[in-house]
Structure 1
Amino acid sequence: MKHFQISGLDQRVSELILGTATFHPSNIEEMSGVLDEYIRLGGNILDTAQNYGAGDSENAIGMWLNERKNRQDILILTKGGHPDENGPRVNAEAIKYDLFGSLQRLQTDYIDLYLLHRDDPAVPVEPIVEALNEHVEQGLIKAIGVSNWSCERIQEANNYAHAHGLVGFSCSSPHLSLAEPVEPMWPGCVFADKGTRSWHEVTQFPLLSWSALAGGFFTGRFSPGRRDHPDIVRVYYSDENWERYRRAEQLALKKGCRTLHIALAYVLRQPFPVGGIIGPRRVEELQSSFEATRIPLSPEEMRWLNLEEAS
C-alpha cells in the first residue's frame, strides 16, 4: 500500500484510510478483526469523529487501542465542530469542547490529525486558525485540517497562518468519488469538483476523500430500476453516473477486477496526494478494497471514466 506525507505528522499516511463511523463498543470484537487486518495490510490511520454514534466510534477505538497497546503506531484522525440543532459550531468554545471529549473517549493525550467537520462561512478564518493553534501549541494536536471546506477558504486560512507564523491546514477532506453527487448527501457537504481537483493538483495539497465508493454505488447492489435506498437514489442516480458505472464495469472486465475496484482506483490515482476513506464492516470487504491499491489507471483511462473523453 502506498503512503504519502501530511505536514505535521511524523508518519506517512496510508492511501486507504479506515472509516469507523459504524464502530460501537458492542461490536468491538468483530471490528477488532477488521482493525487488525487493516494494520496487517499496511494501513495506519483511522477516521472517526466526535458525533459518530454520539461518540461510540471513538469509544470503540479507544478500547481497541488500550487492548492492543499500539497507540504510537496508529494515526488518529478525528473531527469536531459539527453543527447541532442550533446551527454551526465552528468557534473556539465548540472546538475545545469537542476536542477534549474526543481525547477522553479515545483514551489518548493527543490527536494526530484534527479536522473541522464543517465550515461556517459567516466566521472569519482568523479566529478559527488561532483557536486550533492554541491546541497545537499545547501538544494536544499534531496537525490540523478541514472537512467540507471550499479550497478558497482553505487558501485564505493558510495565507493568514503563514503571514502570522501559525500552523495552517495540512489537508482537506471533501467528498470525492467517480460518481458525482446530484446534490449533497448532507447539508454543508462539499464535493471535489473539477475546479477543486485542479487546485489540489497545482498545490499538491493532500485530499482525504470521504465516501470514496459513493455509498456503495459501484458494488452492484443498485440499478436504475431499483429505488429502495432513497438517499442513494437522491444523490447518485443520474444518467451521467450510470454511464460512469458502465465504463467502470467495462474497464474492470478488461483488467480482471471488480467494478468497485476501478471506482476506488479512480480516487486513489488522482494527480495529487490522496487518501480514500473506506468503511468495511467485514474483513472480506476490507481485503477486497485493498485490491484497488494494485490497479494502475492511465491519465486517458481516468478521463474516460469521468466522461471527459468519448466512449
Structure 2
Amino acid sequence: MRKMKIDGLNPACSQIVLGSMMFSPANMKRTGDLLEAFVEAGGNTIDTAHVYNNGDSERALGLWLKERGNREDIIILDKGAHPDRNGPRVTPQDIKQDLHESLDRLQVDYIDIYMLHRDDPSVPVSVIIDALNEHKQAGLIHSLGVSNWTNERIEEANQYASENGLAGFVVNSPNLSLAKPNEPRWAGCISVDQESLNWHEKHQFPLFSWSSQAGGFFSGRFSPDKKDDPEAVRVYYSEDNWERFRRAQKLAGEKGVTAIEVALAYVLHQPFPTCAIIGPNTVEELHSSLKALDLPLTAGEVNWLDLKEESLVR
C-alpha cells in the first residue's frame, strides 16, 4: 500500500486510513477481522477519537493491539477536545484529560498523531500550542494535527510555534470528497473549498480526509428521487453532486471499475499529499475501497469529475 511521510513519524502512514467508529469490545470479531484484513493489505494507520462510541472504539483498538503485540507497527491517529453539551472544550485542562483517558483506553504509552477534534477561536493559539508541546515533550504525542480548523488558524498557530521554537501542526483533517456538502454534516465541521485546496497545494500540507467517500453517495444506494435518508438528502443532494455522480459512473465504465472507487481515487489524486479515512463495515467493503489505490487519474480527469472542466481532457 502506498505510504505518505509525516513529520515526526517513522514509519510513513498508509494512504488509506482505517476508521474505527464501528469498533467495539462487544464485537471484537468484526473489529479484529477488519483490522487483520487492513494490515494484511499493507495498511498501518488507524483513525480513532476520544468521543467515538463513548470510548469503545479506543478500547477495542487497544485490546487488539495488546493481543497482537504490534504497537510499533501501527500508527494511531487519535483526536480529542471535542465539544460537549456545554460547548467548546479546547483548553489545556480538557486536552490533558482527553489525552490521558485515550492513552488509558488504548493501553499505550504514546499516540503517533494527536489531533484537536474542533477549534475554539476564543482560545489564543499560544495557549493551545504550549499545552500540546508539553505533552509532546513528555513523549505522549509524536506529531500534532487538527481536525475541522480553518487554514487561517493553522497558519496562526504554526507561526507562533515557529517563533517560539515549538512543534506546530503537521497535518490537517477536514472533509474532502468528490461530493460537496450543502451544509456541514455535523456541527462545527469544515469541508475544503477551492481556497483551502489552493492553500494545501501551495504549502504541500498533508490532508487526512474524513468522510472521503461522502457517506456512500457514489455507492449506487442513492438517487435523486430516493429520499429515505434525510442526512444524505440534507448534506449531499444537489444537481452539481448528481452531475459528479454521473461523471464518476461514466469514467468508471471506461476504466472497468465502480463509481465509488473513482470517487475515492479523486481524494487520493490531489496536487498535495492526501490520505483518505474510510469506514467500512465489512471486510468486503474494505477490499472494495482499497481498489482505489490502483486506479490512476490524470489531472484532467480529476478536474472534469469536479466540474472544473466541461469536457474530459486526457
TM-score bracket, normalised by the shorter chain, equals over 0.9
Q: Which runs of 5+ in 2 are unaligned?
A: none
Q: For residue 213 of structure 2, what is the aligned residue in structure 1?
A: 213
| Runs of at least 4 residues off by over 6 Å | none
Deviation at 1:10, TM superposition (A): 1.4
Deviation at 1:245, TM superposition (A): 0.3
CA offsets 1:23-63 (integer angstroms, 9 cap, x no match): 11111112211101101111100000000011000000001
SS in 2 for 1:121: coil
Alpha-carbon distance in 1 for matches of 2:121, 2:310: 38
SS in 2 for 1:170: strand
SS in 1 for 2:135: helix
CA offsets 1:50-87 (integer angstroms, 9 cap, x no match): 00011000000001001111001000011000000000
Q: Which stretch shows the higher mean deviation, 46-55 or 19-28?
A: 19-28
Q: Could you tell me which amino acid in structure 2 is paired with residue 221 of structure 1?
A: R
Deviation at 1:8, TM superposition (A): 1.0
Native 8 Å contact 2:17 2:276 kept in 1: yes
Alpha-carbon distance in 2 for matches of 1:30, 1:122: 41
SS in 1 for 2:170: strand
Alpha-carbon distance in 2 for matches of 1:82, 1:193: 23
CA offsets 1:187-231 (integer angstroms, 9 cap, x no match): 110001111111111101100000000011011111111111111
Alpha-carbon distance in 2 for matches of 1:249, 1:174: 25
Q: For residue 47 of structure 1, what is the aligned residue in structure 2?
A: 47
SS in 1 for 2:112: strand
Deviation at 1:2, TM superposition (A): 1.1
CA offsets 1:213-252 (integer angstroms, 9 cap, x no match): 0011011111111111111110000000000000000000
- What pairs with 1:156-305 in structure 2 (closer than 5 Å)? 156-305=156-305
Could you state the TM-score of these two structures normalised by the residue count of structure 2? 0.98
- What pairs with 1:82-93 in structure 2 (closer than 5 Å)? 82-93=82-93
Q: For residue 110 of structure 1, what is the aligned residue in structure 2?
A: 110
Native 8 Å contact 2:23 2:31 kept in 1: yes
CA offsets 1:130-160 (integer angstroms, 9 cap, x no match): 0000000000000010000011110110011
Alpha-carbon distance in 1 for matches of 2:2, 2:194: 24
Could you state the TM-score of these two structures normalised by the residue count of structure 1? 0.99
SS in 2 for 1:18: strand
Alpha-carbon distance in 2 for matches of 1:30, 1:52: 16
SS in 1 for 2:8: coil
Alpha-carbon distance in 1 for matches of 2:30, 2:234: 32
Native 8 Å contact 1:31 1:281 kept in 2: no
SS in 2 for 1:26: helix
Give the number of aligned pairs. 311
Q: Could you tell me which amino acid in structure 1 is paired with residue 43 of structure 2?
A: G
